[in-house]
Amino acid sequence: MIVLVNDEPLRRLLATGARIMSTWPQTNEDVRVLVKLLQVTIPSLADVLATGLVVLTVVSAKDSIVALTLGDVFLIAIAQDGEGRRVRDPMNNPERVVRLDIVDVQSEGRSGAEVAR
């Protein structure tokens, strides 16, 4: 799966273990595991969900937004196909989702997108 973080401040936050730990001191391991699991060479969202570690909790079929959870961590992303087009109804088409553009990570009452600013 191709994982993108087009928001530069959020990308910097998620790329640094120390920043993840200071942002989410209680759940930093879950944040790291969730982001790294998505970056591992797993072909599609369907395959990620099949691991049983990640749960698809919120889906917006209209705008292709998905929320994935691991423990108390929520990752919000835009579901895309191999060409970067949004996948409509990702809940019913998880095998078509091969790219995720992470727009936020939330845990402990903190939004990574807000903290990164």
Domain boundaries, given as residue ranges, for the chain: 2-115
The pTM for the full model equals 0.92
Q: Please, what sign has the CA dihedral across residues 87, 91, 94, 100?
A: positive
pLDDT higher than threshold 90 for residue 59 = no
**pLDDT score for 72:** 96
Residue 75: partners with Cβ closer than 8 Å, 6 or more residues away: 34, 35, 38, 67, 68, 69, 102, 104, 105, 106
**pLDDT score for 5:** 96
**pLDDT score for 58:** 78
